[in-house]
Amino acid sequence: MKFSREYLLGLGSGLILSALLLLIFPPAFTNTLADKNSSDAAASKATAVKENPPDQTSESSAQTTANAQEKTSSENAAQVKKNIVISPGTSADKIAQLLQTEGLIQKKEDFMAFVKAKKLESRFKAGSYELQTGLSLEDLVNQLIR
């Protein structure tokens, strides 16, 4: 079957245009991860509101706020930020080893099982990351694929 020159030029132009659009507008599933994180934050705020009904006195509200700030500062003290650098072309296995060495994950095997289950082995982005210890596997992976 012969293809005309115009057909091939149109096909090539369409492929180039679609690639450019993908660079400008990333796939929709990356946005759902960010939306999930924002909805989790909204849910935690709603839980905090339920714990402090508005009919309580301002003194107990101030005490609860102070307790929450103290708890947050103690959690932040336990969570240490680590800087890691992922080079272009680094495999998921090497990334898992790096994360385990830095103390960001406990078991390399658990990380790899999670990544393989979500089919994200090739989605890791090269770059420098500042990550907190104590993150869940999902949160850790979400930061590394953005």
Do both 67 and 112 map to the same domain? no
C-alpha span between 72 and 77 (Å, rounded): 9
Contact, 86 vs 125, CB < 8 A?
yes
Which residue segment(s) compose the domain that 92 sits in? 79-146
Q: 68 and 12, same structural domain? A: yes
Interatomic CA distance for residues 24 and 43, integer angstroms: 31
Q: 80 falls in which pLDDT band (50, 70, 90)?
A: confident
Across the chain, mean pLDDT equals: 75
Indicate whether 10 and 22 sit together in one domain. yes
Among 55, 78, 101, identify where a domain stops.
78
Percent residues over pLDDT 70 in the chain: 64
Structural tokens at position 109: 């095997």
Nearest alpha-carbon partner for 144 in 121, 5, 72, 134: 121
Q: Which distant-in-sequence residues (6+ apart) come within 8 Å of 73 by Cβ?
A: none
Q: What is the pLDDT of residues 9-41, one digit of tens each?
A: 888 888 888 887 777 876 655 444 444 555 555
Percent of the chain having pLDDT more than 90? 36
Q: pTM of this prediction?
A: 0.48
